Structure 1
Amino acid sequence: MLNLNALFFTTDEAQPSLLGNLSLNESDREEFQAAKNDVRQALKQGIPRVYEAEGYPGTALESPRVS
């Protein structure tokens, strides 16, 4: 599965990220983070189900790959 986490957050200050470029108060930042996590969970459940239904081999990763 494509890892898009760096679009939202990065520890490398030289690399831009979406969250780093938004001016949000703490409440809005927490809501944004929760929504991002909800989308991540939906994709982790939905993508493998669609792949299986389409007959693609393999299994979904239980945890993210470490690079």
Structure 2
Amino acid sequence: MSKAINNLTDNNILGPIESQYHKETYNDEQLNKIADYYSKKSNRNYTLKDFYPKSALKEELVDKLII
């Protein structure tokens, strides 16, 4: 998936995003690239909107957990 987001680098940019020890998060440009990647791999058309909730969430901080 890292190559789908940025094919010009060998660095794993997903590690810090997925880690509970870093504050990095996905940005809209990265989410658009992920949606495009999965659209090409499936028979669905994914968009940036698929990554966001349909209604607003409460403004509260939660711990980032890895399962």
- Is TM (by shorter chain) over 0.5? no
Name the structure where helix makes up a greater proportion of residues: 1
Bigger Rg, structure 1 or 2: 1
Larger relative contact order, structure 1 or 2 (CA cutoff 8 Å, min sep 6): 2
